[in-house]
Amino acid sequence: CGIFGVLGVADASNFVALGLHALQHRGQEAGGIVCHHPEHGFNSARRFGYVRDNFTSQDIMQTLPGPIAIGHVRYSTAGKKAAVIRDVQPFFGEFSMGGAAIAHNGNITNAEALRKELIERGSIFQSSSDSECIIHLMARSLQKGIADRLEDALRRVEGAFSVIAMTRSKLIGVRDPLGVRPLVLGKVADGWVLSSETCALDIIGAEFVREIQPGEMVVISDKGVESSFPFRPQPSKFCIFEHVYFSRPDSIIGGRSVYESRRQIGVELAREAPVDADLVCPVPDSGTPAAIGFSQESGIPFALGITRNQYMGRTFIEPTEQIRNMGVRLKLNVNRALIRGKRVILVDDSVVRGTTSRKIKEMILDAGAAEVHFRIASPPTAWPCFYGVDTPQREKLLAATMSEDEMRDYLQVDSLKFISLDGLYRAVGEATGRSNSCPQYCDACFSGEYPVAPSDMIEKGFQL
Ligand code: 5GP
Ligand code: SF4
Ligand code: MG
């Protein structure tokens, strides 16, 4: 998901709508905005679909006045049915000291246990979302201020959370102690901005100030930014997959350009798994920077062998297998004139179920390619993510049951190679690779080493 908040500008909701539009790649299912105006109080709008189709119309935007607003774009995570509008964030609650809204990116790994406990104690849940626990925990807190209640609530929560909250006069940002999901602070005119990624600061002309640190809470008001570290400090575990796929290439994360990390992955891949061929083609768009790096390092010409229809969303966000299967053809097409008779290296960011790779291989062979070699910009995805990226159950992950050679045979390609974990770490700036005693990132979907035990899933029988 993507989250964005603004304080201290006229018509903050318009800024939030633009910010959410720039974060649309983080979730395309639905979006929502909550705002506050001194006379008109709290207002909100929640809609399915793209930001640009909803939060551009005057009919909606004029119902969202005021100098403070937060917003959320969402995609639902594995196992959940298609969302209902009640599941669309931000969530709002009235407390004795006033109203508050929260927008959450990440996934709470003990949400089911918390929900059960809260329901037994009288909470009335409105949605099926794990994030709603936070509002109910805040309601039960004995603290006097809303920021203190949020802090109290988050101390009970396990897993990954970047949260943006608002009251009538304050904008609050928090990152979990591991810092799994991103969150940055920006400045626009006399106002302040919180955003999942820096690309959404650029769109409103905001200046990047700094990242919110893992375990940090910032409370922003007309007095400025107050920072605190309410949680027990832990070694940070930023999601390495944000560098590979999830974030936008024009964002800066941990002081590094995402584009540059991805290009460097391609460079590492070309060193680790060279192959003689005529063309390096990206699987657009997510494979493009890595393909550029592969081509630069290998000297094999870069070419756009596959064209992407710009009017389709990200394939993996489609909820059912059938639509996902169709999705590849609706979204991607091969440039036959270019491919015919050529030995082609295809570079993609990841193999999850293998659906995309299989279809693409068929399309490339149909177009008359002489050889097809896959090079993948992440290690085999053998484990599900429980921290807010939508991966299917373990059984559906190709790499959970097959070795690299078995996957190559299954996909019927001439060769298939994944970047090594160490190579990936080098590409994101860790010169000596992965520190196996204390990895610098979360890489659980590749290594199976979960930095937070996924307790709800273990309860349901998931085996580490
Ligand atoms: P597959 O067809 O192997 O299931 O999906 C692989 C494609 O889905 C890749 O091209 C990649 O761009 C995209 N993808 C990236 N990240 C994810 C993710 O977290 N989950 C899923 N299901 N697909 C992803
Ligand atoms: Fe990111 Fe993978 Fe960790 Fe999930 S399991 S947070 S996708 S690195
Ligand atoms: Mg892709």
Q: Structure tokens of 1?
A: 């998901």
All domains of the chain in start order, with CATH: 2-236 (3.60.20.10), 258-459 (3.40.50.2020)
Q: What is the pLDDT of residues 40-51, one digit of tens each?
A: 999 999 999 999
199 annotated binding-site participant: no
Mean pLDDT of all residues in 376-395: 94
* Mean pLDDT of the region 167-175: 98
Q: What is the pLDDT of residue 332?
A: 87
Catalytic (active site) residue 1:
yes
Number of H helices, E strands in the chain: 18, 23
Residues around the ion ligand 3 (C-beta < 5 A): 286
Ligand nearest to the CA of 421: 2
The two tokens of residue 409 are: 């045979």
Q: Is the pLDDT assigned to residue 88 strictly greater than 70?
A: yes
Mean pLDDT of the 213-231 span? 97
Q: Kindly tell me if the per-residue pLDDT of 319 is higher than 90.
A: no
Distance 439 CA to ligand 1 centre (A): 24
Q: Which of 367, 243, 375, 385 is nearest to 297 (CA)?
A: 375
Q: How far is the CA of 415 from the centre of ligand 1 (A)?
A: 20
Q: How far apart are CA 281 and CA 388, in angstroms?
A: 30
In this structure, how many other beta carbons lie within 10 angstroms of the beta carbon of residue 311? 7
CA of 451 to the centre of ligand 2 (A): 10
- In terms of residues, how long is the chain? 464
pLDDT at 390: 83
Ligand index nearest the alpha carbon of residue 285: 3
Lowest mean pLDDT, pick from 255-264, 268-277, 311-320: 311-320
Kindly indicate the confidence band of residue 130, based on its pLDDT and cuts at 50, 70 and 90: very high
Which pLDDT score is estimated for 323? 66
The span from the CA of 276 to the CA of 295, in Å, is 12
**Closest C-alpha to ligand 1, atom 13:** 316
| For residues 132-143, average pLDDT | 97
For ligand 2, atom 4, name the residue with the nearest CA.
385
Is 442 one of the annotated binding-site residues? yes
Going through 8-111 in order, the beta strands assigned E by DSSP cover: 30-37, 41-48, 68-74, 91-95, 98-108
Identify the residue with better confidence: 424 or 78. 424
Backbone angles phi, psi at 253, to 5 degrees: -130, 130
